[in-house]
């Protein structure tokens, strides 16, 4: 990224992290990604304030492990960012901005089989239940992001593991569930929504 692009991005993304719950303890403001909060002399992140832009947080350094969507707002404790996740992690150790989010112009194509094979379905709206909208399986084996950024959830009602899908990652192509994230052990996705700017 050249210096001009860095200046333009600086105002679009801003997040303050805290070492303890309810915005207590050591804090630091970020405008760019952080691959490992431990390098900043933090032990962990336990609460977050997102002022600008959507972010994705990760359970481990180097953008590894469970993913958590962080949109504008306050996250006083891990339950606030993990939501109704069946997976409990009480901290995050790395995070980055989601630069391609565009809520008003987001389009995704779901495929019945890996490598974009089989029946497909295009979406431009949020769906709390893919099966209710006509998808006949609990699984989504491959995905193409035509525009914007999306978050997929393991269960209906935006619950369970979270998977972040972005147009500017993998060229927007997720050929199999292994590409959904380092924590992906299944292609089970039952609800999806657009990521807010």
Overall fold of domain 107-194:
Gamma-B Crystallin; domain 1 (2.60.20)
- Average pLDDT value for residue range 129-156: 94
Per-residue pLDDT at 155 exceeds 80: yes
Q: Which of 78-82, 130-134, 147-151, 169-173 has the lowest mean pLDDT?
A: 78-82
Confidence of residue 121 (pLDDT cuts 50, 70, 90): very high
Question: What's the longest Cα–Cα distance across the chain?
Answer: 51
Q: Where would I find the beta strands (DSSP E) of the chain?
A: 14-20, 24-30, 47-52, 55-60, 64-70, 73-75, 94-97, 107-113, 117-123, 142-147, 149-155, 159-166, 173-174, 191-194
Q: CA torsion angle for 21, 180, 13, 8 (degrees, to 10)?
A: 160
Name which residue leads in pLDDT, 185 or 124. 124
Q: What is the pLDDT of residue 150?
A: 95
Q: How many CB atoms lie within 10 A of CB 47?
A: 23
Domain ranges of the chain: 3-97, 107-194
Per-residue pLDDT at 146 exceeds 60: yes
Q: What contacts 7, CB < 8 A, 6 or more positions away?
A: none
Q: What is the pLDDT of residue 73?
A: 95
- Average pLDDT value for residue range 98-124: 92
Q: Alpha-carbon distance 113 to 174, whole Å? A: 11
Q: 3-97 has which CATH code?
A: 2.60.20.10
- Average pLDDT value for residue range 181-191: 88
Lookup: tokens for 193:
């929504």
Q: What is the pLDDT of residue 5?
A: 53
Name which residue leads in pLDDT, 123 or 169. 123
- Average pLDDT value for residue range 101-127: 93
Main-chain phi, psi angles of 77, to 5 degrees: -160, 170
Q: With 0-12 CB in 10 A as exposed, 13-18 as middle and 19+ as buried, what is 53?
A: buried
User: Which region holds residue 62: left if phi is over 0, alpha if psi is between -120 and 50, else beta?
Assistant: left
What percentage of the chain exceeds 90 in pLDDT?
Answer: 73
- Average pLDDT value for residue range 148-173: 92
Q: pLDDT tens for residues 4-59?
A: 454 455 568 999 999 999 999 999 999 999 999 999 999 989 999 999 999 999 99
- Average pLDDT value for residue range 165-171: 91
CATH topology match: 3-97 vs 107-194: yes
Q: What is the pLDDT of residue 85?
A: 59
User: 3-state class of 141 per DSSP?
Assistant: coil
């Amino acid at each position: 990224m050249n210096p001009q692009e860095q200046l333009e991005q600086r105002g679009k993304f801003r997040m303050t992290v805290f070492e303890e719950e309810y915005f207590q303890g050591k804090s630091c403001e970020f405008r760019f990604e952080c691959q490992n909060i431990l390098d900043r002399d933090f032990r962990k992140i336990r609460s977050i304030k997102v002022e600008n832009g959507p972010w994705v947080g990760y359970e481990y350094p180097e953008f590894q492990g469970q993913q958590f969507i962080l949109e504008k707002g306050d996250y006083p404790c891990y339950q606030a960012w993990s939501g109704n996740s069946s997976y409990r992690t009480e901290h995050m150790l790395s995070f980055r901005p989601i630069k391609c989010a565009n809520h008003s112009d987001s389009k995704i194509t779901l495929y019945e089989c890996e490598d974009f094979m089989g029946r497909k379905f295009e979406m431009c709206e949020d769906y709390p239940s893919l099966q209710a909208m006509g998808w006949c399986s609990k699984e989504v084996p491959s995905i193409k992001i035509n525009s914007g950024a999306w978050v997929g959830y393991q269960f209906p009602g935006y619950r369970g593991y979270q998977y972040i899908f972005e147009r500017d990652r993998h060229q927007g192509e997720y050929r199999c569930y292994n590409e959904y994230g380092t924590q992906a052990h299944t292609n089970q996705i039952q609800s999806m929504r657009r990521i807010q700017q």
